[in-house]
Amino acid sequence: MDTAQLLFDLEQSKAQLEEQNQVIAEHERRVSGNNKRIGYNQRFANLPVKKTIEIIPDEVKADRELYEEIGEESSYRVELDPPKLYKIVTVRKKYRHLLNKACPPVIAPAPSRLVEAGYAGASLIAYIALSKYVEHLPLYRLEKSSKRWGAQIPRQSMSDWIDTAAWWLTPIYQQMKSNLLNGGYLQVDETPIKYHDPDKSKGKTEQGWLWVMSHPKSDVVFEWKLSRKHEELHSMLDGYQGILQSDGYEAYSSFEKANAKVTWVGCWAHARRKFHEALKNHPKHAAVMLRLIG
């Protein structure tokens, strides 16, 4: 195929993509407009009703026999119950045998807890863990906030509970990772994260690496490592066979070379980056390729 024919085909593809994008944009505009008209009634449709307040006119209260009900008008407001600490008390009764006083007292065994001999219940531990890792609230802020919950909780206790939660969730994490490693197709990446270890240096941060593995429509698993060395990847993917998709970092190519049953493929995001960089010098051709990738 000559250059002229190739350019013609690319222009045709570009025109078709632009037409499709216009149709999609118009559809999204209509959907967005409909959502705006629906408003908050749809947003709060599934909220539970905690309390219903019935308001009767004063004149009706004065003499109900003179009025009959013909309808009603209703409205609502959305309220929030802030976090509140409460206690669940477990009472274990002790009993003594009436006929044989020499028998030791009888008492039921204490129910198991997430934290043995501790006071934290499962809901409290879950709230602390979700606040820290989903809402990104550091423990020292949660410690201050706990005053408003009813009693201040030391951050050291919260830190211990995070460790407890991680221990209980380990089997789930291991199963998720096992499913990914046995899936035959894996996407892996790593990103630098600054962290502070008070046992090493006060007031200074160091750099660690958060490695992530997943594949479309599956779980996402993170592993925290203190380095980006090739050995970290090799230990993390030990025994994996199949397609490995990643960026161009040399650790991935070395893993492929060390494992005959691993096929290393590139990442579209990084390939796209090169076309984006080429926009300045080759705007027409680069724009078409970016559309095709999109």
pLDDT digits (tens, 9 = 90+) for 182-215: 999 999 999 999 988 877 777 788 999 999 999 9
Question: Of 203, 264, 198, 216, nearest to 237 (Cα)?
Answer: 264
Structure pTM? 0.70
pLDDT digits (tens, 9 = 90+) for 21-40: 665 566 556 655 555 566 88
Q: Hunting for tokens 């970016």 — which residue is that?
A: 290
Question: Of 88, 85, 105, nearest to 97 (Cα)?
Answer: 105
Q: What is the mean pLDDT of residues 82-93?
A: 94
Per-residue confidence (pLDDT) for residue 200, from 0 to 100: 76
Question: Of 125, 177, 173, nearest to 153 (Cα)?
Answer: 125
CA-to-CA dists, residue 121 to 83, 164, 210, angstroms: 14, 12, 30
Token pair, residue 197, equals 């270890």
Strand partners, 190: 211
Least confident stretch, 8-12, 159-163, 221-225, 259-263: 8-12
Summary count for the chain: helices (H), strands (E): 10, 7
- Contact at 8 Å (CB) between 143 and 152? yes
Per-residue confidence (pLDDT) for residue 196, from 0 to 100: 84
| Secondary structure (3-state) at 207 | strand
Per-residue confidence (pLDDT) for residue 260, from 0 to 100: 94
Q: What is the mean pLDDT of residues 146-161?
A: 96
With cut-offs at 50, 70 and 90, classify the pLDDT of residue 60.
very high
Hey, CA dihedral for 126, 128, 130, 133, is it positive or negative? negative
CB neighbourhood size of 289 (10 A):
20
Q: How many angstroms separate the CA atoms of 290 and 279, rounded?
A: 9
Q: What is the dihedral of CA 54, 57, 61, 64, to 10 degrees?
A: -100
pLDDT > 90 fraction of the chain, expressed in percent and rounded: 65
With cut-offs at 50, 70 and 90, classify the pLDDT of residue 123.
very high
CB neighbourhood size of 49 (10 A):
6
Least confident stretch, 120-129, 137-146, 194-203: 194-203
Per-residue confidence (pLDDT) for residue 270, from 0 to 100: 80
Least confident stretch, 34-48, 50-64, 217-231: 34-48
The DSSP bridge pattern shows strands 242-245 and 262-265 to be: parallel
CA-to-CA dists, residue 177 to 86, 172, 223, 226, 228, angstroms: 37, 9, 10, 20, 20
Task: Count Cα atoms within 13 angstroms, Cβ side, for 196.
Answer: 6
Q: Residue 78 pLDDT more than 60?
A: yes
CA-to-CA dists, residue 196 to 50, 132, 192, 208, 225, angstroms: 44, 16, 13, 10, 14
Q: Counting Cβ atoms within 10 Å, is residue 210 exposed (0-12), middle (13-18) or buried (19+)?
A: middle
Strand partners, 265: 245
Q: Counting Cβ atoms within 10 Å, is residue 47 exposed (0-12), middle (13-18) or buried (19+)?
A: exposed
With cut-offs at 50, 70 and 90, classify the pLDDT of residue 245.
very high
CB neighbourhood size of 246 (10 A):
22
Per-residue confidence (pLDDT) for residue 32, from 0 to 100: 53
Instruction: Tell me the pLDDT of the chain averaged across its residues.
Output: 88
Per-residue confidence (pLDDT) for residue 7, from 0 to 100: 58
